Each structure stands twice: as C-alpha cells, then as structure tokens.
C-alpha cells in the first residue's frame, strides 16, 4: 500500500514538473492528491477478527442479562456496562501495532465481558418484597396480640400469607420499576386491610350461650314459690357461675378450651337447684293462724277449768311433739287447736241444756 502511495505521489510530481502554466501545476497537484487519497487501506485481518470476537462476547452477555428477572431499567444499566467493556476492548485493538498486541487486546476484552457480574436478584424487586414482609409481620403481630383463639389466629395468618405471596408474585412479574412499585403498594394495602376482630367469634358465641343459660335459670328462680331473699340468693349464685364461666372463656386459648369453659359454665348454672316452698307449708301457716285466733276466743269466753284443760292438752301435745320441728310442729299445733275447739263446743252445749232443764 505504501508503494502504491509512493507511485501516485511520484506521478503527481512528474506532472507538476511538466506543467508550463500555473493552472496546469494546480491541476496536476489536485489530481495527485485525489489519487493518493483514493488508495484504500485494507483493514488488518487480525484486528477484524479480534473485533468480531469482542462483539460476539457482548451479544452473549446481553442475552444473559435479558434472561434475568431484573426490571427493564436494571437490565439497561447492566447492558450499558457490558457495552462499555466492549468499546474499550475495541479501542485497544485498534491502537495495537502488532498482531500480538491485537490478540492481547482481544483476549482481555472478551474475558472482561464474560467476567462481568450480572445481579441474580433485582434490587428494586427485593426492596419491594421486603416492604411486603414488613407489612405482613405488623399484621401478624396484631393478630398475636388479639384475644382470638389459636385457630382463629391461624386462619387470619393464612390470609396474610396468601396476600403476601400474591403481592410477591406480582412483583416478580413486573418488568418495569413503576410496575414493581404498583404491585408493592397494592400488596401492602391488601395486607393492611385484613381485619383483626376485636373479639373472638368463638368466644362471643360461648358467652351468648352462657347468657342464655343464665337468663333461663333466673326465669326459673323468679317463677318459683320463694321469698325475695331466697330468690336473690339463688340469682347471685347463678350470676357468679356465669361470670366465672365467661372469664374462663376469655382466657381460653383454643376453640376446644372455649367449648370446655362454655359447657362447664352452663352445667354449673343448670346445676343450681331451685326448690319452691311446699303447698303444705302454706296451708299449715294459714291453719295455725286460724287456730290461734280461735283458741284466744275460747279462752276468753269459757271457764278456768276449760282453760286449764286446754293448757294441759297443749302441754301434753307440746311434750309429745317437742322432738319434731318445722312443718310437723305446725301441723301438731293445728290438730291441738281443733281438739280444743271440739271439746269446748261439747261442754258449752251441755251447760246450755242444764240451764234449759
């Protein structure tokens, strides 16, 4: 190539020397310059091959980058780094003046591109998933702090886990940074919106059942033939049993414990015996009251003998009845009163006949 250049240069100079006019000199000069510039400098075969090797390594690296789960923006940033390595390698090849230098620049460039690290995890997606995990942890902490049963807590945590996984799947499927952010925000909202009940449904149902049992027992007590004090005493017992049962329900940690506390509480309430005062007790009280009035009337209207006789009769009956108490004592007193009334009636009738005769 240099010989060709030299030949074109000598030819131009000869034409210049042969020119007789300034215009002819100028023409010979221009023609010579054009001829020299037209000499094609063929590329070095070794440099061409070296550059092809660099570009092939770059193509492979780009394919590897595009096969990752990085966002488009992250892929572009990594590809740009690979491109910079390729450009630097090609520049070194072009500056090389020997075949050995070309080969060295090529090997160094290809190795640099191959050794370039490609992130295995998207930082954008990783940060979004961490935000989802934090939202899930906060919700699970709130669930653990509630008064729900273990089963109810477990069900809610399953819901939290499902929403969290759904959000992470959407984050993985996102191809752009903006899409990742949208999936993250949507997931956080879904988790935050999971309601943690202030009260356990299982425990509320158990407490309602206890209240129903208590209401029935109170109704039974109020319908019984008891004094107000007796009723209140039984109602207090039932209420205390209900309160203790509810406390046991509140402190129960599993559904089974709740059911046990409920059943035991209802059994305690139902086990309170409500026994009405008997009809015999009321009849005896009324008889005793009537006999007392009748005995008082007889004692004021008849002789002292009758009174003494009545006293003897009552004394004898009292001695006979002394070991007995309650209803038997009242029943005996009623019988004594009736006997005295009959005796007085007989004596009075005899006196009346005596006077008449």
- Read off the pLDDT of residues 317-337 as tens digits, 9 standing for 90 and up: 443 343 444 444 444 444 445
- CB 326, CB 280: distance < 8 Å: no
Please report which residue ranges of the chain form alpha helices under DSSP H: 2-18, 22-37, 45-66, 72-95, 99-115, 123-144, 150-173, 177-192, 201-223, 228-251, 255-270, 279-301, 304-321, 327-356
Q: What is the pLDDT of residue 276?
A: 82
Q: Quick one: pLDDT band at residue 183, thresholds 50, 70, 90?
A: very high
In sequence order, what are the residues at sequence separation of 6 or more whose Cβ sits closer than 8 angstroms to the Cβ of residue 116?
Answer: 61, 78, 81, 82, 85
Q: Which residue has the higher pLDDT, 352 or 119?
A: 119
82: nearest Cα among 100, 57, 103: 57
State the average pLDDT over residues 290-315: 39
The crossing angle, in degrees rounded to 10, of helices 304-321 and 279-301 is: 150
Q: What is the pLDDT of residue 277?
A: 76
Number of H helices, E strands in the chain: 14, 0
Q: What is the pLDDT of residue 1?
A: 55
Least confident of 101-115, 232-246, 325-339: 325-339
Q: What is the pLDDT of residue 294?
A: 38
Which architecture, in CATH terms, is 201-270?
Up-down Bundle (1.20)
Per-residue pLDDT tens for 17-28? 999 999 989 998
Q: Which CATH class is domain 45-115?
A: mainly alpha
């Amino acid at each position: 190539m240099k010989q060709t250049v030299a030949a074109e240069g000598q030819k131009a100079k000869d034409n210049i020397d042969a020119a007789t006019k300034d215009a002819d000199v100028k023409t010979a000069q221009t023609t010579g310059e054009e001829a020299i510039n037209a000499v094609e400098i063929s590329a070095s075969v070794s440099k061409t091959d070296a550059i092809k090797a660099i570009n092939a390594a770059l193509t492979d690296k780009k394919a590897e980058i595009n096969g990752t789960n990085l966002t488009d923006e992250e892929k572009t940033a990594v590809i740009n780094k690979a491109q910079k390595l390729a450009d630097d390698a090609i520049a070194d090849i072009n500056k090389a003046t020997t075949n050995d230098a070309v080969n060295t620049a090529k090997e160094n460039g290809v190795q640099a591109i191959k050794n370039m690290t490609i992130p295995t995890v998207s930082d954008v997606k990783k940060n979004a998933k961490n935000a989802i995990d934090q939202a899930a942890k906060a919700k699970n902490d709130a669930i653990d702090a509630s008064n729900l049963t273990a089963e109810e807590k477990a069900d809610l945590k399953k819901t939290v886990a499902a929403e969290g996984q759904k959000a992470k799947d959407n984050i993985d499927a996102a191809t752009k940074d903006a899409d990742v952010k949208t999936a993250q925000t949507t997931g956080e909202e879904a988790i935050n919106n999971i309601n943690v009940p202030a009260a356990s449904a299982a425990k509320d149902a158990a407490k309602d059942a206890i209240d129903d049992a208590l209401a029935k027992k109170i109704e039974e007590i109020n319908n019984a033939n008891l004094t107000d004090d007796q009723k209140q005493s039984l109602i207090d017992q039932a209420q205390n049993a209900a309160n203790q049962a509810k406390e046991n329900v509140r402190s129960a940690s599993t559904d089974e414990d709740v059911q046990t506390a409920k059943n035991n509480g209802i059994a305690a309430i139902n086990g309170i015996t409500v026994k009405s005062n008997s009809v015999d007790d009321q009849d005896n009280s009324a008889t005793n009251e009537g006999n007392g009035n009748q005995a008082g009337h007889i004692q004021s209207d008849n002789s002292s003998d009758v009174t003494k006789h009545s006293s003897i009769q009552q004394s004898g009956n009292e001695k006979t009845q002394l070991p007995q108490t309650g209803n038997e004592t009242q029943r005996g007193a009623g019988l004594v009163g009736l006997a005295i009334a009959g005796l007085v009636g007989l004596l009075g009738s005899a006196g009346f006949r005596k006077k008449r005769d």
